[in-house]
Amino acid sequence: MKKHFVLKGIPAAPGLAIGKAFVLGSEELEVEKRKISETLIPKEITRFEEALIKTREEILDIQKKITKEMGIRHAQIFNAHLLVLEDRTLIEGVITRLKKEKLCIEFIFLEVLKKYIKTFSHIDDPYLRERLSDIEDVGKRILRNLRGIRREVLSQLKEKLIIVAYDISPSDTASMHKEKVMGFITDIGGKTSHTAIMAKALEIPAVVGLEEALARVKTGDTLIVDGTKGEVLINPDRASLTKYRQKSAKIIRSEKVLFKLRDLPAATKDGREVQLAANIELPEELPSVIAHGARGIGLYRTEYFYMNRTDTPSEDEHFAAYKKVCQQVKPHSVVIRTLDLGGDKFLSQLDIPQEMNPYLGWRAIRFCLARPDIFKVQLRAILRASAYGNIKMMYPMISGIEELEQANQMLKEVKEELKKRKIAFDENIEVGAMIEIPSAALTCDILAKQANFFSIGTNDLIQYSIAVDRVNEKIAYLYEPAHPAVLRLIKNIIDAGHREQIWVGMCGEMASEPAFALLLLGLGLDEFSVSPAAVPAIKRVIRSVTMKQAESVALESLTLTTGKEVEEFSKTKLKELVLGNEEIR
């Protein structure tokens, strides 16, 4: 009898996968220590050189495949792999030791590689530590080519499986066939790891950071991967299996029903239409945005552009990405958020010191205002791209009016510069502020005079108003979107925005929750920007009610005294007004 087990990890890509596990063995970094004669040394060097060339060819092939399937941006991560292959210290280190120690090349190479890995693993810098996996990945490939073994398992999977691994390197991901991989689970990695981003872009359910998956799962075990909750059930009992199969069938059924809403407007029964847009991190998510029927992009997070690379993106790179996105969502708009680095998003190429309280530190707009050299590159690119479609832009983490004014001043300088250079841009580009800090939420009346719109970032607004770290599992029970304090702040933001006649949207995760959609609609929210997969469900809520019904839900919610009460009440109303007998998922 197989043992049931439930593991909790970090939800990396939403969705449900039920199937058999395929454990991607951690390749043994062990080789035999073999003495060789002096005469064999040149032959060993030739073998080493051939392995390097072969590895280079393999990586170039992967780059080509990835460029075709996922775009140049993803393919660029392999530049770091190619650099490892050209590393003179590594190569010369191997050849010198080979000549001196007269041991087989596999053994020498592995010794040098291990030393390298050890040095890197002691480095404090998280970016450089991440490069460790590039070195390991390339190192294993070289070793495989030296031994003549090819690790083609991933590209040769015969049936649809769930991949279980300590970590999934970008090159492993590249050799997978999308139609053969139902889901990923890994022991390490975070929400912003490249594996997670790729899984999301490919719409493959994934849970990362499970810590014990490799120790607990064997190839052939039955797994349920809940990428939305971040849970993995190993060899579930019959009852759980039935429950999840039903859930999965229901998701597929309701997706089919919701799909029918794709081309219908997000309007209430009495005709109030709201803007229903999607959040994206990468241009690769656009097909999913369009497939789910979102009208434009309400939040384009641009931090990922700066990740997994050693330099900062050039103005032309920014420009090319923004132009592509705005042209594809035309005539709808795309709201580009300027660089929001900090908190859990570190970029070591920008040389930012470690801080005691990174969430309260030198981040987002604070960093950008202090580094006009970096900020203006992005502003110029956004403006240039605005000539090609409907682009709006917004600043993250505005805490008060001075920051908004300073940012607008920099934007003005860039506009003047472009005008002088006779470069086209949209002179009336709408510029908004994200409202995600309580001080901004409480001074919205002041901010509204200098902004064309507000977008409420509840992920941070909740974290800062309840003083609850958004990624700390231990206090997750305190993280309540419907806490009366949060509701009052949201109401204040919407009312202040409307008094100044600007539109108010929400791009935090709260907007993606069907149970809260009624309440937000009733509070007067003009735009919902949600994860692409959540678009149909939110549209359905909006289309099922009248404004009067939504307003009465909002009014009553504001009289309740705890977040739990509001949540319960919202769920009851959702059932009553929208879902009927359907279960809430």
- Name the segment binding ligand PEP (CB under 6 A); options: 38-46, 68-76, 269-277, 456-464: 456-464
- Name the segment binding ligand PEP (CB under 6 A); options: 125-133, 213-221, 454-462, 536-544: 454-462
Kindly state the smallest distance separating residue 455's Cβ from ligand PEP, in Å.
8
Kindly state the smallest distance separating residue 460's Cβ from ligand PEP, in Å.
3
Helix (H, G, I), strand (E, B) or coil at 127: helix
480 binds ligand PEP (CB under 6 A): no
Residue count at the site for Mg ion (CB under 5 A)? 3
Kindly state the smallest distance separating residue 396's Cβ from Mg ion, in Å.
6
Provide the phi-psi class of 501: left if phi over 0, else alpha when psi is between -120 and 50, else beta: left
341 binds ligand PEP (CB under 6 A): no
Say which entry of Mg ion, ligand PEP, none residue 507 contacts (CB below 5 to 8 A, set by partner kind): ligand PEP
Taking the least distance from each CB to Mg ion, the nearer of 14 and 457 is: 457
Across the strands, what pairs with 276? 528
Kindly state the smallest distance separating residue 130's Cβ from ligand PEP, in Å.
20
Residue count at the site for ligand PEP (CB under 6 A)? 10
For tokens 């530049």, name the residue: 79
Q: For residues 206 and 199, is the Cβ–Cβ distance under 8 A?
A: yes
Q: Which of 23, 98, 181, 507 binds ligand PEP (CB under 6 A)?
A: 507
Q: Which of these is catalytic: 74, 81, 194, 332?
A: 194
Residue 444: both structure tokens together:
């919205």
Q: Write the CB contacts of 134 (distance below 8 Å, at least 6 apart in sequence).
A: 80, 81, 84, 169
- Name the segment binding ligand PEP (CB under 6 A); options: 196-204, 425-433, 457-465, 574-582: 457-465
Taking the least distance from each CB to ligand PEP, the nearer of 301 and 491 is: 301
Q: Write the CB contacts of 13 (distance below 8 Å, at least 6 apart in sequence).
A: 184, 196, 199, 200, 202, 203, 204, 205, 206, 227
481 binds ligand PEP (CB under 6 A): no
513 binds ligand PEP (CB under 6 A): no
Kindly state the smallest distance separating residue 485's Cβ from Mg ion, in Å.
18
Q: Which of 226, 436, 480, 526 binds ligand PEP (CB under 6 A)?
A: 436
CA distances from 68 to 73, 170, 558 (A): 11, 15, 51
460 binds Mg ion (CB under 5 A): yes
In the Cβ-directed half-sphere of 503, how many Cα atoms lie within 13 Å?
A: 12
The DSSP code for 314 is: P
Please name which of 74, 87, 44 lies closest in space to residue 170, comparing C-alpha atoms: 74
Across the strands, what pairs with 280? 300
Taking the least distance from each CB to ligand PEP, the nearer of 103 and 510 is: 510
Kindly state the smallest distance separating residue 457's Cβ from Mg ion, in Å.
4
Strand order in the sheet with 161-165: 5-8, 231-234, 222-226, 16-23, 161-165, 181-186, 206-208, 10-13
460 binds ligand PEP (CB under 6 A): yes
Kindly state the smallest distance separating residue 494's Cβ from ligand PEP, in Å.
15
Q: Which of 458, 512, 549, 557 binds ligand PEP (CB under 6 A)?
A: 458
Q: Which of 508, 524, 532, 536 binds ligand PEP (CB under 6 A)?
A: 508
Q: Are strands 231-234 and 5-8 parallel, antiparallel or unpaired?
A: antiparallel
What character string, x for contact with ligand PEP (CB under 6 A) and - otherwise, covers 285-314?
A: --------------x-x-------------
**Catalytic-residue membership of 194:** yes
Q: For residues 275 and 505, is the Cβ–Cβ distance under 8 A?
A: yes
Taking the least distance from each CB to Mg ion, the nearer of 203 and 436 is: 436
d(CA 571, CA 565): 10
Please name which of 166, 158, 176, 218 lies closest in space to residue 22, comparing C-alpha atoms: 218
Kindly state the smallest distance separating residue 35's Cβ from Mg ion, in Å.
60
> Could you tell me the end-to-end alpha-carbon distance of the chain, in angstroms, rounded to an integer?
31
457 binds ligand PEP (CB under 6 A): yes
459 binds ligand PEP (CB under 6 A): yes
Which of the residues 34 through 53 are near ligand PEP (CB under 6 A)?
Answer: none
- Residue type, position 414, single letter: V
Taking the least distance from each CB to ligand PEP, the nearer of 9 and 505 is: 505
Residue 214: both structure tokens together:
């490799």
**Catalytic-residue membership of 507:** yes
Kindly state the smallest distance separating residue 199's Cβ from Mg ion, in Å.
22
Q: Are strands 527-530 and 275-280 parallel, antiparallel or unpaired?
A: parallel
Taking the least distance from each CB to Mg ion, the nearer of 184 and 375 is: 375
Please name which of 219, 237, 214, 469 lies closest in space to residue 359, comparing C-alpha atoms: 469
Q: For residues 544 and 269, is the Cβ–Cβ distance under 8 A?
A: yes
Taking the least distance from each CB to ligand PEP, the nearer of 357 and 581 is: 357
What character string, x for contact with Mg ion (CB under 5 A) and - otherwise, covers 419-458?
A: -----------------x--------------------x-
Residue 83: count of CB within 10 angstroms of its CB: 14
**Residues of this chain that bind ligand PEP (CB under 6 A):** 299, 301, 340, 436, 457-460, 507-508
Q: Catalogue the active-site residues.
A: 194, 507
**Residues of this chain that bind Mg ion (CB under 5 A):** 436, 457, 460
